[in-house]
Amino acid sequence: MRKNTLKYINYRSIECQEIIVQKRIELIKYNFSDNIELNNIAEEILKETNDLLGKVQDVDNDNEELLIF
């Protein structure tokens, strides 16, 4: 039986930054809606991007990669 493959993500990578920007754009689109459901989605996106940004800031110079299961 194979072990689960661990995936390493460098949160300072361009890919991660692009995801954050895309999520922020989604957030802006949803935030201008009068629809309560879309506003809830916008809040989730905001939380998700804040979590990603927090991980970017939490990574220290000695260990730029975080382990994701």
Every domain of the chain and the residues it spans: 34-59
The pTM (predicted TM-score) of the whole model is 0.42
The pLDDT assigned to 47 comes to 81
- 4 CB-near residues (< 8 Å, 6+ apart): 69
If you count them, how many residues does the chain have? 69
The pLDDT assigned to 36 comes to 80
The pLDDT assigned to 62 comes to 45
Q: Is 11 exposed, middle or buried (0-12, 13-18, 19+ CB in 10 A)?
A: buried
The pLDDT assigned to 12 comes to 61
* pLDDT tens digits for range 8-57: 455 566 777 777 778 777 777 766 667 788 777 777 877 877 777 666 55
